[in-house]
Structure 1
């Protein structure tokens, strides 16, 4: 009898995301077991309980998924799980806290495609990127990915410069990139931060408009603006949730909306979960792999449309 495909889902929170459980089931995992309230210190023991209960052949049908809401903690947990593996007892590992890794990957990949559509073949290289709502999990990882792609990146917080600086420094230190903090505490601060931005990534809370039409008027260098808020009002004025490189009224920039990003996010997460399920060899999947997958998905979509 063939052993079932078993996915162990670890989260430091009080519950595992139903979204992630559904995604795992749709990717073909047969036994899906959530573990809640998992601390970083508990990852090693849980991982080794997972691997030592099956033969190496059975472990090809075994995976670990790490959730939660903290982008940095999830990265630490992924590293701890990887370090706990003892060859040949290895399993596939994936982290995507609150969907932040796949959402950020989709957002940054969509904007990169928008920049290239405008003739910027080098994508993010040398571009100024401002992440509004930059202290949350999606904002932090989007900032890291843009920085790794060659951009100068600022994380903005509506709670002011001190909060933004702390988040930027902690995130930069954890992932080995350069980030700065900027204040988004009031309209004047937001306008000052985006005045010379080539790219705006709006990662603020749902239902909150962080950039008005009047704010956009000061962003004379803006090329692409992306918004993950699907709840009215739009996070960036003039960017429809369905927009995919659509002109923003009153601006020379292109807009990318939440549902356009969400479709790429969905495809990216599904492909990564299927990759764990089908690869036949151990996979370690974090936001870097999510970004590669989102880029590849967009490339296929563009080729099919063209």
Structure 2
């Protein structure tokens, strides 16, 4: 006897959330892959050694294959190590869209956008909380400022009206080149300074009110002896989580703790790598989630990362 019982029609399976991850480097960062998965992406595909000329074709391959409902569940992430190249790749991807075939794109090369956003947002928060001051007009020195995080932090601080000096432990010429490039690209004003010798470093430390250390991990860029010259210092923040401390006296756990040995009348406070990392993590998670759940395509670069970091910092109390 045949079974003639009618069965309810099966609902079509929901389309999975797919994230295409482009990087100019030989591998995608496992950190970013984990963050994307934790934000709800179900299929994550890295594309390595991607140059700028490949981005438009890859983007259009991603948008035309799924239909309007599918593109709503599709995203593109741009990683790598070059912060300017990542910004250009995001712009290329955006121009390759053909609405309604359009997906969200998020750039965060080496985590530089979200890390710099967390760094500057926390400096701004503590400046207001401890001193009742704004970042605009303050003298900001960025040590290791020619690297990825330093460049983005410089652009963010300068956009708020800070007087930004970009320091290079290699030579002043390199710092000037980086400063000129940032100024031209973003319409801001920064300057390059040399910090290769103790005398050079101590001279610029003596004028700085805020010091942001963004040098490579495991290198101390400011010693106790150097700090004795920081006569105007209000805040010192350090993204280095690997011993020794990037700035002497600024422990990775610090989040507004006074720094010993600073010759200012009111003292100075430190912000360590774990406090910065906590905000960075929240920012990256929020931006990945915004891509996936926002309902319409978004393009997320360092301005959006900074807005998100300021919101996270404000909620810290």
Indicate the TM-score class for this superposition, using the shorter chain for normalisation: over 0.9
Note if 1:157 corresponds to 2:168: yes
Measure how far apart 1:119 and its partner are: 2.8
Measure how far apart 1:158 and its partner are: 0.6
- Matched with 1:228 is 239
2:105 aligns with one of 90, 93, 98: 93
**8 Å contact 1:72–1:171 — kept in the other structure?**
no
What is the aligned-residue RMSD (CA, Å)? 0.9
1:100-119 matched pairs, under 5 angstroms: 100-119=112-131
Is there any run of 5+ residues in structure 2 with no aligned partner, and where? Answer: 1-12
Give the Cα separation in 2 of the matches to 1:49 and 1:208.
Answer: 43
Measure how far apart 1:218 and its partner are: 1.1
- Matched with 1:298 is 313
Note if 1:277 corresponds to 2:292: yes
Measure how far apart 1:261 and its partner are: 0.4
Measure how far apart 1:193 and its partner are: 1.4
Give the Cα separation in 2 of the matches to 1:34 and 1:175.
Answer: 30
Give the Cα separation in 1 of the matches to 2:165 and 2:65.
Answer: 46
Is there any run of 5+ residues in structure 1 with no aligned partner, and where? Answer: none
Measure how far apart 1:225 and its partner are: 0.5
Note if 1:83 corresponds to 2:95: yes
Measure how far apart 1:120 and its partner are: 3.1
Give the Cα separation in 2 of the matches to 1:89 and 1:54.
Answer: 9
**8 Å contact 1:11–1:66 — kept in the other structure?**
yes
**8 Å contact 1:72–1:174 — kept in the other structure?**
no
**8 Å contact 1:102–1:265 — kept in the other structure?**
yes
1:58 aligns with one of 70, 73, 93: 70
Give the Cα separation in 1 of the matches to 2:312 and 2:46.
Answer: 29
- Runs ≥4 residues deviating over 2 A: 118-121
- Matched with 2:35 is 23
- Matched with 1:199 is 210
- Matched with 1:137 is 148
- Matched with 1:241 is 252
Deviations 1:69-94 (CA, angstroms, capped at 9, x unpaired): 01111111111111111111110000
Deviations 1:23-46 (CA, angstroms, capped at 9, x unpaired): 000000000000001001111111
Measure how far apart 1:59 and its partner are: 0.8
The alignment of Structure 1 onto Structure 2 pairs a total of residues equal to 301
